[in-house]
Every structure is written in structure tokens, then in C-alpha cells.
Amino acid sequence: MKYCFGVDIGGTTVKMGLFSTEGELYEKWEIKTHTENEGKQVLPDIAASVRAKMEEKGISAEETAGVGVGVPAPVSEGIVKNSANIGWGYKNVKKEMEELLPGIRAEIGNDANVAALGEMWLGAGKGCSNMIMVTLGTGVGGGVICQGHVIAGANGAGGEIGHICVNYSETEKCGCGKTGCLEQYASATGIARLAKLRLAKLHGKTLLEGKNLSAKSVFDAVKKDDRVAIEIAEEFGAYLGHALANMAVIVDPEMIVIGGGVSNAGPALLPFIEKPFQEKAFFANKDTKIVLATLGNDAGICGAARLII
């Protein structure tokens, strides 16, 4: 048994965890993400925090298998070409991290891919080796695991499920600059957008009237049997369920794991995805289980630690 660190870099905080290589999480903590000056301080801050923890626990470099880092950007061979969220342009993250922590190996991955690894290792996908994870947050992230390996792809952009085109006639633009991306309908912001569009042309009563429209307010109203909210959830579910059925044909997963803030709606969310999935799923993929993620915000640190093993 050795120790390893899992690091999940976000736009405002860096989440960190100390693990055993066998998957025990000993301790987790957070530091601030200093994005100013093109994020120059982000990696040195992480290295200092890792060193401080090693000192505190009396852990030597020899006892440390490595530091895994999840980054909100495509990652290819440890290199990030651009990460708007944390101010980075081109950065060889693996090399810099290893220079900052002599004698300790670093492995870098995209945050959504890393979250998928985390759920496979210690969460909802335990024991699975073929799995799709979709993270429904501000955006829609994704991670595809085939035979135990994350599909990172040639540009580190493998599994970017959020940018599958699901509506060819959309005119509004996605954050990526294209139109009709899944993210425009299935992220927290996407659900709020669907709600706003529907309420604008609505004649009739709904609990959503006058409410701050969000994924949470929509699913809260769904739980109270609000007809309009249910229709919004069905629209969201159709986009997501059909996209997942299309993905299942390529990946043939044992399981599809749904995570991110939207998944806080709980089990009530699943039928809205399962029904359209079943409508479009190829017969061989019909038994694919769709489940909620179980690690919550810890998926990132868990998966980052898993990069080391």
C-alpha cells in the first residue's frame, strides 16, 4: 500500500484528497484557485499543499505513488492547450507538477473524464469496466470508460457528450460556438432555458409562475405533479435520453451514471431519462442501467487519485 493524492482543479476552489492506493480516502480539503496572472500560482499552490500534508502526516516521497490532477480542459499527454476557467494557455501540467514535487509522479486528466473514473473506482460504477458518465452541471460534461480505460482521444476531448448535436434547427448558440448541443438542453442552465421558453408562451397555471427558473425549481415542481414542469422535464429527458441511446450504440456500456448538480433532483430524475432512452436504444443496449452518481463533489478527487493506479 502506498499513498496518493487526488486533486480536482475548479474555477474557484481546488479540491484535494489523500488516499491509499487501495481506495481509502483519509482526508480531504480545499484551497483557493488563484486564477489571476494567467493562473500562474495554481500549480505551485497545489504542490505546497501536497508537501504540507506529507509533512503533517510524516509521509515520504517514496511512500507516495503520485499525484493525480483533474483539470477543466481537454488534456492530452499531460498537456493543456487552453483552459479559460483557470486562466491557462498552453501548459505542460504533468512536467510542471513533477518539477514542483521532485520524486513524485503526476498524472493529469480532464475533470469530467476523471469524475467518471472516480465513480467507476469508488462510486456508482464500482466493478464496471464499460461505463458512460454524464455530469449535468452548469454545462454538460462526460466521461466514457471502455474496458477500464478512459477514452481521452487524440485531442483529450474524448467523451465531450455535452456537444453532441441533438437539435439541427436550433438557432441559439452553445458556449462552444455551435448550435443545437446537448448542453443547451440538459445542463442546469439548459433546463432553466427550456423552462423560460415554455413559460413565455404558456397559457395556464404552473407552480413555476413567478419563480426563479432553475433546474431545482423545475424538479421541485415535478415532485408536486406540476404539469408544465413535467413537460419541461420530459423535453430535457428526451434530448438526454436519445443522446445516451446513440452513445450506447458506440460504447455498449454496462451502466450510465448521471452526476452533477442536476442529479441532486434524486431518483425522480431517472424515469425522464430512461423512457426516451428505451424508445431509441438498440435492442442489445436495452438493459443498460441508468443510475445516479454517488460520490457527489468527491468524484473528481477520487478519479484523480485513480489516475495514479
Among positions 14, 134, 181, 243, the unique one binding Zn ion when judged by CB under 5 A: 181
Smaller CB separation from Zn ion, 178 or 196: 178
What would you measure as the largest C-alpha separation in the chain, in angstroms?
67
Rg (C-alpha) for the chain, rounded Å, is 20
The stretch among 129-137, 139-147, 171-179, 280-288 that binds Zn ion (CB under 5 A) is 171-179
The stretch among 36-44, 74-82, 173-181, 206-214 that binds Zn ion (CB under 5 A) is 173-181
Cβ 183 to Zn ion shortest distance, Å:
5
Smaller CB separation from Zn ion, 163 or 306: 163
Alpha-carbon distances of 296 from 114, 223, 263, rounded to whole Å: 13, 21, 9
Smaller CB separation from Zn ion, 133 or 182: 182
Cβ 301 to Zn ion shortest distance, Å:
27
DSSP summary character for residue 35: -
Contact 196, 212 (CB under 8 A): no
Site map (CB under 5 A) of Zn ion, residues 131-170, x = contact:
--------------------------------x-------
Cβ 166 to Zn ion shortest distance, Å:
10
Smaller CB separation from Zn ion, 52 or 176: 176
Q: Is 174 in the site for Zn ion (CB under 5 A)?
A: yes
Cβ 177 to Zn ion shortest distance, Å:
7
Cβ 110 to Zn ion shortest distance, Å:
16
Q: Please count the residues of this chain forming the interface with Zn ion, following the rule CB under 5 A.
A: 5
Backbone φ and ψ of 47, nearest 5° = -60, -40
- For residue 97, the SS3 value is helix
Among positions 52, 61, 84, 176, the unique one binding Zn ion when judged by CB under 5 A: 176
Smaller CB separation from Zn ion, 98 or 160: 160
Contact 143, 123 (CB under 8 A): no
CA atoms within 13 A on the CB side of 303: 36
Q: Is 242 in the site for Zn ion (CB under 5 A)?
A: no
Closest to 182 (Cα-Cα) out of 219, 132, 235 = 235
- Residues 104-133 touching Zn ion, rule: CB under 5 A, are none
Smaller CB separation from Zn ion, 85 or 130: 85
Closest to 263 (Cα-Cα) out of 160, 85, 123, 163 = 123
Q: Is 182 in the site for Zn ion (CB under 5 A)?
A: no
> The cell 432553466 sits on which residue?
192
CA atoms within 13 A on the CB side of 290: 27
Site map (CB under 5 A) of Zn ion, residues 245-284, x = contact:
----------------------------------------
**Which residues, 6 or more positions from 118, have their beta carbon under 8 angstroms from its beta carbon?**
6, 295, 298, 299, 300, 301, 302, 303, 304, 306
Q: Which residues sit at the interface with Zn ion, rule CB under 5 A?
A: 163, 174, 176, 178, 181
